[in-house]
Structure 1
Amino acid sequence: MANRMKDKVVIVTGAGSSGPGWGNGKAAAALYAREGARVLAVDYRRDAALETQEVIRSEGGECVAAVANVADSADVQRMAEACLEHFGRIDVLHNNVGIVEVGGPVETTEEAWQRVIAVNQTSVFLTAKHVVPHMLKQRAGAIVNIASIAAIRWIGFPYIAYSAAKAAMLAMTQNMAVQYASEGIRANCVLPGFMNTPLIREPLKETYGGDVERMIAQRDALTPTGRMGDGWDTAYAALFLASDEARYITGTSLVVDGGLTARCA
């Protein structure tokens, strides 16, 4: 193990994968642990959180799995309390939870809109509400929010609720960054582009005629580097922003997209 996160305690929400392979949250949790952090791996699904816990422990890392609905304030409060109970402090809050609903304002139901906003946006408000007070006591902390280039660009098909929630995340991050800068707390965003993770397979495949391999090939071709990124690309960007190497960086958005938005500009 390296030591970039030695003695740090990290909460990762959405720390499980939505299917086989390495999602953004699972990769981030594992990478933080490899760099010496103690990790609270939080997911809505117990089996997914436990899987991430097992991966980290099998590598000699320290991890505790926790179950929480991050769109529910009471659950989030229990999550923060569990982290303090197990580890005594919270140094990094990594908000990774995200769900996708394809559709514009006509196709998207009101129920789907509310669900996506609650899970993708309200969760960031709630985790900050219950975690930041502990960071304020420490006068130190880092928040890393995983947004998306969908917050700043049209990327090929409509998902209005997802784009709206991720765009709001950018503004929320900047607000927190400035408000708490003098208190030793930093807040930054990572904006992944096209990523080959388990999350894209079910929600997006119908947009490509139900053919997953066709979807992957087309998304690879659209990326200037010739391939999509993966969960590890997102994780390494988050690791940098969470680490003391980024101590003078706050209120920023780090785009991780293989040049896609640069070409679209």
Structure 2
Amino acid sequence: MVQGKLEGKVAIITGAAAGLGEGIAETYVKYGAKICMVDLDPNVDKTADRIRGMYPDAQIITVVANVADKQQMIDAAAKTKEAFGSLDVACCNAGVCRLAPFEEMTDETRDFHIDVNIKGVWNTCQAAIPYMLEEGKGAIVIASSVTGDIVADAGEAAYAMTKAALVGLTRCLAVEYADRHIRVNCSQLGYARTPMVEKMAVESNPEDPESAINDIAVGVPMKRLAKPTEVGELFAFLGSDEASYLTGSQVVIDGGSTLPETMSIGTN
């Protein structure tokens, strides 16, 4: 275990069973944090065991809960406080994306995105902030996206809408809690190789989903997708005291994918 930036901190991490959440959890443990891994998927226990295998001194609890259910998140935060004595960082990572043409997108699909991507973050913040206020400090890291606020693809209306909303929530909470020493920042990820992205690739190209993923990499100046642990490193920084004067920030982590004006003009 790397001694360092998160030593002595307690974090609750949502969507922690796989993908970005797993990468965030692994990175937090690497830097010495005690963590509560929350996910609707009971496999979160297996993910925690894998991380314990890497870091035998890891202090981890798991909670099977739905971020869209406020009481379940209140209970998860309470279990975190009971287990570790504090709650210093909330990593609001849980999210969903389902693609469909806008004219065919059902109200159920729209509301599913709102429930998880917006209400889930809202509920996690409301569950964690009272403990941070008690302690007189804290940090919240929200997983927004480049999608919605900066770019968008066809079929992503619900996802883009909900992820863009998180930028507004980040800014408002940052202002509201700055003088009470709670920092609030958001990440804006391009693409990482996660189960969610693999599912989107199947929805985009059912006959050859791997080609859809390869095509994403072609459009990234660094020519690859992010690793979940690279996103975890950003979350670790934003949750640590190294980011003590950073609040209300939108940190793009996309390998440069939002930079090019075109893919066909230029000396490259």
TM-score, L = length of structure 1: 0.94
**Among residues 251, 254, 259, which one is paired with 1:254 in the alignment?**
251
Q: Distance in 1 between matches of 2:76 and 2:206?
A: 39
**Among residues 184, 204, 212, which one is paired with 1:207 in the alignment?**
204
Alpha carbons 1:102, 1:204 under 8 Å: kept: no
Q: Distance in 2 between matches of 1:173 and 1:233?
A: 21
Partner SS state of residue 147, structure 1? strand
**Among residues 55, 61, 64, which one is paired with 2:61 in the alignment?**
64
**2:32 is the alignment partner of 1:36:** yes
Alpha carbons 2:191, 2:197 under 8 Å: kept: no
Partner SS state of residue 260, structure 1? coil
> Unaligned stretches of 5+ in structure 1?
18-22
**Among residues 136, 141, 144, which one is paired with 1:139 in the alignment?**
136
Alpha carbons 1:56, 1:62 under 8 Å: kept: no
Q: Distance in 2 between matches of 1:156 and 1:113?
A: 16
Q: Distance in 2 between matches of 1:111 and 1:11?
A: 28
Moved more, 167-176 or 54-63: 54-63
State the AA in 2 paired with 1:10. Answer: A
Displacement of 1:188 after TM fit?
A: 0.3
State the AA in 2 paired with 1:262. Answer: L
Alpha carbons 1:173, 1:251 under 8 Å: kept: yes
**Among residues 63, 73, 84, which one is paired with 1:76 in the alignment?**
73
Q: What's the Cα RMSD here?
A: 1.3
The number of equivalent residue pairs is 259
Displacement of 1:104 after TM fit?
A: 4.1
**2:240 is the alignment partner of 1:243:** yes
State the AA in 1 paired with 2:49. Answer: E
Alpha carbons 1:144, 1:238 under 8 Å: kept: yes
**2:87 is the alignment partner of 1:90:** yes
**2:42 is the alignment partner of 1:46:** yes
> Unaligned stretches of 5+ in structure 2?
263-268
Q: Distance in 2 between matches of 1:55 and 1:242?
A: 23
Q: Distance in 1 between matches of 2:180 and 2:207?
A: 49
| 1:129-178 superposed Cα distances (whole Å, 9 cap, x missing partner) | 11101101111100000111102233433211111110000100110001
Alpha carbons 1:148, 1:191 under 8 Å: kept: yes
**Among residues 100, 117, 120, which one is paired with 1:120 in the alignment?**
117
Alpha carbons 1:194, 1:223 under 8 Å: kept: no
What is the 5 A alignment of 1:144-163? 144-163=141-160
TM-score, L = length of structure 2: 0.93
* CA 1:82–1:210: 2 relative to 1, 3 Å: farther
Q: Distance in 1 between matches of 2:249 and 2:122?
A: 18
Percent of residue pairs bearing the same amino acid type: 33
Q: Distance in 1 between matches of 2:173 and 2:151?
A: 26
| 1:43-87 superposed Cα distances (whole Å, 9 cap, x missing partner) | 00112x102210222122111111110100111111111111111
What is the 5 A alignment of 1:174-189? 174-189=171-186
Q: Distance in 2 between matches of 1:231 and 1:187?
A: 21
Partner SS state of residue 151, structure 1? coil
Alpha carbons 1:140, 1:184 under 8 Å: kept: yes
Q: Find runs of 4+ consecutive structure 1 residues off by over 2 angstroms.
A: 153-158
Alpha carbons 1:30, 1:55 under 8 Å: kept: no
Alpha carbons 1:29, 1:52 under 8 Å: kept: no
* CA 1:157–1:195: 2 relative to 1, 3 Å: farther
